[in-house]
Amino acid sequence: MTETENSTAQAARYAPGTRRVILVTGPSGAGRTTAIRALEDLGHEAIDNLPLSLLPRLLEGPPLARPMALGLDVRNRDFSVAGVIELVDRLEADPTVAPQLLYLDCRPDVLVKRFSETRRRHPLAPAESPAEGVDREIDLLVPIRARADVLIDTSDLTVHDLKAEIARWFDDRGGKQLAVSVESFSYKRGVPRGIDMILDCRFLANPYWDPALRPLDGRDAEVAAHVAADPRFDPFFAQIAALAEFLLPAYVAEGKSHLSIGFGCTGGQHRSVAVAERLADRLAAAGWQVSKRHRELERRGALAHARNWGSDGR
């Protein structure tokens, strides 16, 4: 389903008077707490770790003026895979309820690393290694993952990125501004998923071959100047900027909530970063809501960011 089709489907699904319920689940450490808080910030009535048996009673009352976001995981008192699937079936059969199952996924090695960093024990392996608990939980949740309406892989996302992705899917408040993300990446590691528009910077002069510039990255003035000195840079950037400035108002008129623009180069350190920085600054100066992300720099630890998945490590 395309994003436009998804938006249309949601609009049709959320008819006036229906009770909108988002069930948020996924393996421990994948970011459920962050997602619940992000949904709460978007105006949802958020409840985490609600026992499954209490949900029917919760829905018996008068409809709330805002949608609900409910966090479910293996630590819930009466959690079971069969119980969650039965709950989803029951909600989908109720014409007064518009449910969505949001599944936060994550690679096993990243989950193990997150547990190791927080020094917490995995709920399914309290006396064993986190890796054993991660494997058990991923296997356990396979049927629930298969039922997901929205699946977000948080393996390479920062807390900020996850919140932006949640907003992309669930922020349907009227009058919100288009959110633009400008990203850089390395072609050696493959094209990242979820990018709307990708541009190749590998034809530009490569600072890597200058020993003085090699250890720097595209955020440094010397590297940016080196890339901009290529005679092909100015016409290339002028056309990119003109295209972006033409498309953004059109996307707003179309009702799109998020646009991602990616720039790739060989190593994802110099050229793509420099061009992404320059375009992001230009769009921000024009009043657009812009976020920047440099995937390869994050991967190498060059960006000082902390993956704070909540005080409980989720």
- Least confident among 149-158, 160-169, 214-223: 160-169
Let me know whether 200 and 109 are in one domain: no
When pLDDT is cut at 50, 70 and 90, the band that residue 305 belongs to is very low
**Across 277-291, average pLDDT:** 89
Q: Mean pLDDT, to the nearest integer, of 248-271?
A: 87
Are both 91 and 233 inside the same structural domain?
Answer: no
Q: What is the pLDDT of residue 192?
A: 79
The pLDDT, as a whole number, for residue 302 is: 36
Residue 304 maps to a domain = no
Q: Report the predicted TM-score, pTM, of the whole model to 2 decimal places.
A: 0.55
Cα(247)–Cα(261) distance, integer angstroms: 11
Same domain, residue pair 157 and 54: yes
- Per-residue pLDDT, 306: 34
Q: What value does the mean pLDDT of the chain take? A: 82
How many secondary structure helices (H) and strands (E) does the chain include?
12, 9
Model confidence pLDDT, tens digit, residues 7-26: 333 443 445 567 888 999 99
Residues 213, 128, single domain; the answer is: no
Does any domain span residue 39? Answer: yes
- Asked whether the beta carbons of 25 and 83 are under 8 A apart, the reply is no
What average pLDDT score do residues 250-263 get? 82
Give 262-272 pLDDT, tens digit per residue: 999 999 999 99
- Tally of domains in the chain: 2
Same domain? For 214 and 121 the reply is no
210 plus 235 within the same structural domain: yes
Domain assignment present for 308: no
Residue 310 lies in a domain: no
Other residues' Cβ atoms within 10 Å of the Cβ of residue 15: 10
* Domain endpoint, select from 170, 193, 224: 170
Query: Residues 31, 145: one domain?
Result: yes
Please check whether residues 116 and 7 belong to one and the same domain: yes
- The CATH number covering residue 65 comes to 3.40.50.300
**Each residue of 24-57: pLDDT tens digit?**
999 988 988 899 988 988 888 888 887 877 877 7
Q: Is position 306 within any domain?
A: no
196 and 95 fall within a common domain: no
- Tokens representing 281 are 């600054």
- Whether residues 58 and 164 share a domain: the answer is yes
Q: Within 13 Å of residue 14, how many CA atoms lie on the same side as its CB?
A: 18
Q: Are residues 53 and 160 in the same domain?
A: yes
pLDDT for residue 303 is more than 60: no
Domain boundary among 113, 135, 170: 170
For residue 192, what are the domain limits?
179-299
Of 143, 170, 197, the one marking the end of a domain is 170
- Backbone region of residue 237 per phi and psi (left: phi > 0; alpha: psi in -120 to 50; beta: other values): alpha
CA distance 281 to 16: 40
